[in-house]
């Protein structure tokens, strides 16, 4: 396995402090803001558009939907939507600084997404808390 070429571990708190304003607690927002889980998909679409990858929106959102609900069980740092948003935000910043060929950029994004922790999670849907040993034979 190759080593990731960028720091893809999302630091949600630092991202919020650096880039997004504090949530507005008054009407009509009541504490909701663009940095929460519910709005992450909109940021993902915006980042893809900024990277010139709008054709990826249907495929990436379909792939991400496979992990829907995982945020209820995962740590905040491993929320799939927030992690993908952070990877794309990092690439947006890097492209503005360096500029990259589209194919190189696509390959690097895929590599970074596959390095995220939640991609290797497994779910067991059953009545027992532990997975049945015969399922994995």
Tens of pLDDT, residue by residue over 110-119, are 999 999 999 9
* 68, part of any domain: yes
Residue 9, classified by CB atoms within 10 Å of its CB into exposed (0-12), middle (13-18) or buried (19+), is: middle
Query: How far apart are the C-alpha atoms of 9 and 87, rounded to whole Å?
Result: 8
Tens of pLDDT, residue by residue over 46-96, are 999 999 999 999 999 999 999 988 888 888 788 999 999 999 999 998 887
Q: How many structural domains are present in the chain? A: 1
* 6, part of any domain: no
* 99, part of any domain: yes
Tokens, residue 137: 């034979």
Please indicate whether residue 118 or residue 19 has the higher confidence score (pLDDT). Answer: 118
* 5, part of any domain: no
Q: What is the extent of the structural domain holding 101? A: 12-136
* 2, part of any domain: no
* 29, part of any domain: yes
* 27, part of any domain: yes
Give residue 119's Cα distance to chain centre. Answer: 10
* 3, part of any domain: no
């Amino acid at each position: 396995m190759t080593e990731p070429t960028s720091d893809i571990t999302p630091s949600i708190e630092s991202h919020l402090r650096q880039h997004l304003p504090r949530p507005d607690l008054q009407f009509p927002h009541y504490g909701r803001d663009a940095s929460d889980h519910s709005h992450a998909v909109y940021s993902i679409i915006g980042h893809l558009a900024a990277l010139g990858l709008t054709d990826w929106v249907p495929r990436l959102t379909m792939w991400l939907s496979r992990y829907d609900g995982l945020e209820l069980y995962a740590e905040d740092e491993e929320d799939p939507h927030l992690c993908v948003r952070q990877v794309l935000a990092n690439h947006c910043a890097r492209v503005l600084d360096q500029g990259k060929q589209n194919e190189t950029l696509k390959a690097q994004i895929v590599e970074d997404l596959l390095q995220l922790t939640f991609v290797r999670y497994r779910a067991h849907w059953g009545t027992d808390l532990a997975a049945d040993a015969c399922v994995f034979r």
